[in-house]
Each structure stands twice: as C-alpha cells, then as structure tokens.
Chains A and B, each alone.
Chain A
Amino acid sequence: MVRGRASGPSPYPTRAAQAGRALGAVFVVLVFVPPLLLLVAGSLHRPGLPPAPRPRLVPDPLSTQAYADAFAVGGLARATVNSLLVAVFAVPLSVLVASLAGFALARLRGRIVGAVVALTLLALMVPTTALLVPRFALFRSLNLTDTLVPLVAPALIATSPLYVLVYFLAFRALPAELYDACRIEDLTPLRTWWRVGLPLVRPVTAAVAALSFVTTWSNLLDPLVYLYDRGRYTLPLALRSLSTLDKHDFPVLLAGAVVATIPALVTFALAQRRFLHHHE
C-alpha cells in the first residue's frame, strides 16, 4: 500500500535540487572526512614515541602496534562485545516501543493528544543527571547494578521521548483516509500499525534506529554509574580509560576510537541501504 499523491509538485528532483544535493554531499564529505583520515593515520603511528607536533597523514614508521595495544591494555574486545550486546537489544526495542507509542498517540483524538504531547515534551526537558540517583536506587533495589540491564532498560520506554514524538508526527502526517480504509477493512490497530503505518514511515524508522544506536553506542554516563566489573565495561568506558594514557601512547587511543567508529559506520551504511533505498 502506498500513499497516493493526486496533485502537487513532481516527485522527481529538478536539476537544481540535484546540484544542491551534490553540493551538500561534497560539503559533508569535506567536513567529516579529514578528521576521520587523521584518526586513522594517527592510529597507525607507533606508540611509545613522542607525539608529533603536527599531525601527519602518512605515519613514519607505519605500525599497527597501537591496535594490538588497544585490545591488550584497554580490553577492547570484551568492551566491543558488551556494547554490541547492549545495542542489539536496546535499539530494536527502542524503535518498537517508540513506534507503538507514536502510533497510539497519532490515533488518539481530542484534548488528550495535546496533554500527552505536552507531557512528552516535559519529559524531554528533564536532564538525565537529575534522574541519575533515583534510577541508581531503583536498579540497586532490583539487584541489577553491575549488569547490562540498566543500559538496555531505557529502551522499554523508547530511550528518549524525542523518538516517540518523531513517530507521532510521522504517523499523524499519513492521510486520515488511509486509517479510515483500514478500519473499513476491519484491520486491528496493531495490524494497521504493522502492515500500513510502519512501511510508510520507513525513513523515520531508519532515522530513529540510527539515533537510538548512536545514543546507546556512545552512552558513557550509565555504564560509568552502574557497572563495577571491568569485564562488563562497554566501549565508551574502555575508550575513556585509553584517553588517560600518557601522550606517548595516543595512537592507542586513536586505534580504540577507530575500532569504536567502525560498527557505527557499518550500521549507518546498512540502515541507509535497508530503509532509504528500499523506499525509493
């Protein structure tokens, strides 16, 4: 089922729009690629040498020792597994809950929608640190500190109210006739969400999944507070630990950063192929 378009501008981009997109892409590449290149180049310096006063794109001597040290000193292998484990559960759960909540909100009528949206916005404005101690006390009373559960648990409430709002706006933008047709076809709300709503907001799902992955992947505060055992540390904590190495060993930190960046890049590439291209 696709959303029809009776009239309006052509769905095909004009030449000017295409040129604008290309320019935008070049700009993004120019802004983001040099730091990535420097990151990779820095990680290929041999650790233990005095830091170079100026960054060098081609290290001399070229060495992969920093990667070996990052895994040995920083416990990167275990940390990567832990981070992946958290992301594997937290991201789909977060998308699932956010999309369900957003859909339910879009189907509500009257003043209650305004009230719920206002409450969601209010929740969005509460600083994370304000909830740190109550959440710690909660997980402690459940005997769940020093496990990965507190890192996944926020996904049960969609991780962030923002994701719920994004889905709410996306589902609300679908034509009301579509929902009427589903009702006539005797589709249950859950079926309408799964069979009709979700396929039509695929790009939103890609965006929320990507955002949720980034939030989960780079979450430093929760692991810092809830985890005690080094064997359960996630990548941000491992990287944080590498950042305290002496200046001579900065390539080790950069190697750790490269390792932490790769899964994020792969996820974005997959999300883009799976969701955005499919939609087009």
Chain B
Amino acid sequence: MRQRALALILALLAAVPLAACGGNAPATSGGGPVRLLLNGAPDELAAYRQLADAYRKATGGSMQLVEASDRGDLITKLSTSIAGGSPPDAFLMNYRFYGQFAAKDAIEPLDDRMSRSSVIRKADYYPAPMEAFRWKGRQLCLPQNVSSLAVYYNRDLFRKYGVAEPRPGWTWNDLVSTAGRMTVDASGRPVRGGESEGGAGKVAVYGLGIEPSMIRLAPFVWSNGGDIVDNPQHPTRLTLDTPEAREALRNLIDLRQAYGVVPSDQEVEAEDDESRFANGRLAMLMSSRRVTTMFRSITAFEWDVASLPIYDRAVNILHSDAYCVTRASRNKDATWRFLEYAFGPEGQRIMAATGRTVPSHMEVSRSPAFLGPAQPPRSARVFLDAVANIRQLPTVSTWPEIEDVTGGILENALYRGDKLDDVIRQLDEQTRPLFARAETP
C-alpha cells in the first residue's frame, strides 16, 4: 500500500513538468525573440499580431507578443517582471502612466539610437506626442499615435429633430444648447433628465455623454484660460480653485445637475454611454479615437465626429501610446530594429487600418490609410486639426493614482451634485500628498 501511495506521489511530481507543455522560454530574451508587452481588445491585439507578422516577413526578425488584456494587467505584469529581473524587451504604454517606470529608471533612453537611425527622422513625427515621452530631457519612448477628444454625433438624430450639426469653432454654450434640444422624450419633445422633475424616466434620447474625469475636464479648463496644476512640469497641486477652472468645472457639473442633458449614474450603470450611442439613444458622445472601431459596426444610422467645443480658445488633450524599451532588456539591438519598423511609416499604416489610432507619423496620418473615405467617420480630419492645439497632462510618476482619486470625486460631483467648493477642496486635499511624493520628468 505504502509503495502505491508513494508511486502516486512520484508520478504526479514527475508529470508536472510534462504538463508544462515544453515551452521553457528563456527567462531573459538575450538572443531570443523580441518580446513586446502590450494590452488591448482582441481585435486590437490581432492588429499587433499582423504588425509582428509583417515585421518578420520584411526583416526576418524574431518577435513575440506578450498580451495583456487591460492596463491594470499590463502594469501588474510589467512591474512584477521588472522587479523579478526579467522584463519584456519593450512595452506599449500611454504617456499618462509611463512616469512610474521612468522614475524607477526602468526605461532605456532612445536619443542616441534615434540620431543614428537611417529609418526614423524626428521631423516626420508630430512634436506633441514626442514631447510627452521626454523624461528629464531624454526621449524615453516612441509614440505610435496622437489621438485627442472629439464629439461623436448621430447625424440621423440631428436630422430627425431638425437641429444643426456641430460646426468647427462651436462653443461650450452651443454644446449645452444643442444637447438640450437633443434631450427628448419618446414623442421628440425636449425634456430635462432629472429626478426632481420626475423626468428621468421620460427621456428617450439624451443629448450628451461625457465621462466625469480629469481627462475630460482638463481641455475645457485650458480652453477657458486656466490650468489644472500649478506647474505642468513640476506640479505640486491642482489649481481648480482659479476662476477659469471653477467655471469649467461648474459647467461640467451643470450638464447633469442644471440641464439634465447627460444620463444619470444609474442610467450609465445600466447602459454605458458607448452602448447608448450605438443604440441610437444618445445624440452626442465625447470620446477619443478609441471608440471608432466599435462605432464602425453601426449600421442603423449615420454618425460623424466634430471638433471639441471651445471657451476662449481651441484646445484639445493628447491621448498617446508609445513603444518603450526596458532598461534590463538583453536584446536591445533587435528591439530597436522592431521599433524602427513599428514606429516607421510601414508599421503605422498597419495600425491605422484598425481605425483605433491616429498615426503620429505626419505623412501616414494625412494618407488614405487614415483619412480614407471608405469607412466612417467622414470628418476624420477633425483629429488632425486638433493636433495643432493639443496639450498634455502631467506625466509625474503618481499621475495614475491622481486620476483614480479625482475620478471618484468628479463622479460624485456630476451625478450627486456635491457643492462646488467641497469638490474643489476634496480634489486639492486628496491629491496634494500624491503630488508631494511624485517624481517629475
């Protein structure tokens, strides 16, 4: 009996490595395939697989994608592998989140390689996203896209209710009045969403969808002549207490609290803004280029994009992701060769075909690969026009935490109607410690 039990244990132990399916990739990738860590939806990841295949065919280089699903997973994977001494060779990350890795000196500067490259010329790329990935004077990552905010709108609904479509240069007041006229009940009569009027249930179409977050608020604060922090390069606190920022914040809150043109939090929980728009029950949605692929599957109505409304001046906010090489990579030369391909025109054309990205390569962004009329939005040029007035958020190492904290407070402000002074005070109090321990670029 004892022998049988022991044999069972030994058999299990012996079988475990077999269960591991071989594999046994080297812990570090020195000489092996270039490992690129990235996150995205399956269709987005499929596009990167296509990019990797094209790279292999074009150069014979070896390439392995390490796929995470969302940003949280990517950061967990990246942090653990860096701390454990075996990071991927490169990773793809938004400028708002790379500061924490830059501060730990985990990213390899690329200035020297760029200056020696015969493929990459800095002058071919939009300067704003390049600047966003500079840390302490060094170019740490290479941005693949230069997205910004736009207003997606349902053209059929605008025609149906006889409301003029958004035009370039339209103002915040235009946005509010348009959203008011487009917030209607089942018979098409303008109504106001809000529990006090008992009108929440009557709304059939809401005028506008906007996420209560710092990345949505910031461009309007800038447009109104204010700023969100005291020093964009070395911020120590939020400055939403200035008259310009207060006005922009109050107007954002009023969208729900005073005008009832955006869905309530319960309604957003039941059906998020993107789904509501796709269902034809949201006239306008403020979002980045990201939602384009989803909206391209809409067949029930025609939609387009318009520029962001302005206060005093046209300003937009940068959305950009970049390829970064890890400092501990043992495969830097091969990684750089991949980056030259992916960041170059060929790679950017492949990624532009997904519809999700606005290429950071100027020539590609103006080519049919991005502006091609085959698929909506018809006014894709809106994204390119925005680049001239684009601004970036701070890239301090604690910015992800600051976004998390401010998101909750702004949500309560928009949906619960917290007092403006309390909102501004909470935002300031809860973010000061985060700014205090931040590493700055």
Hey, which bits of chain A sit against chain B, CB under 8 A? 48, 50-51, 53, 73-74, 82, 85-86, 88-89, 92-93, 96, 132-133, 136-137, 140-141, 143-149, 152-153, 156, 188, 190-191, 194-195, 221, 224-225, 228-230, 232, 237, 240-248
Contact = CB atoms under 8 A, between A and B. Distances in A.
B81 interface: yes
B5 A194 contact: yes
B25 A229 contact: yes
B25 A149 contact: no
Given A194-B1, A230-B67, A89 B271 contact: no
Contact of A248 (B13, B66, B85, B278): B278
Which 8 residue pairs spanning A and B have beta carbons closest together? Answer: A136-B84, A147-B20, A246-B294, A146-B25, A244-B41, A240-B69, A140-B27, A50-B278
Interface in B308-332: none
B2 A85 contact: no
Contacts of A145: 25, 27, 86
Given A50-B300, A232-B21, A242-B42, 6 more contacts: A50-B298, A148-B20, A188-B2, A225-B81, A241-B69, A247-B274
22 contacts: A50-B300, A53-B279, A85-B21, A86-B19, A93-B12, A93-B16, A96-B9, A133-B84, A140-B85, A144-B24, A145-B25, A147-B20, A152-B20, A188-B2, A190-B5, A225-B76, A241-B42, A243-B69, A244-B70, A245-B43, A247-B272, A248-B294
A224 B26 contact: no
- Which of B23, B279, B281 is most buried by chain A, counting CB atoms within 10 A of its CB? B23
B19 A148 contact: yes
Interface in B27-62: 27, 35, 39-43, 45-46
Contact of A225 (B22, B26, B35, B80): B80
Contact of B270 (A53, A224, A232): A53
Contact of A74 (B23, B42, B80): B42
A146 B69 CA distance: 17
A140 B9 CA distance: 25
B215 interface: no
A247 B17 CA distance: 39
Contacts of A230: 65, 67
A85 B13 CA distance: 14
B77 interface: yes
B19 A88 contact: yes
Interface of B: 1-2, 5, 8-9, 12-13, 15-17, 19-27, 35, 39-43, 45-46, 64-70, 73, 76-77, 80-81, 83-86, 88, 270-272, 274-275, 278-281, 293-294, 297-298, 300
Contacts of B298: 50
Contacts of A243: 69
A152 B19 contact: yes
B41 A224 contact: no
A174 B298 CA distance: 66
A144 B39 CA distance: 23
A74 B41 CA distance: 10
A143 B28 CA distance: 9
B100 to A, nearest CB: 16
Nearest to B44: A244
Given A133-B84, A136-B80, A229-B64, A51 B20 contact: no
A248 B20 CA distance: 36
Contacts of A224: 68, 73, 76-77
A50 B273 CA distance: 12
A243 B45 CA distance: 13
Contacts of B280: 50
A241 B67 contact: yes
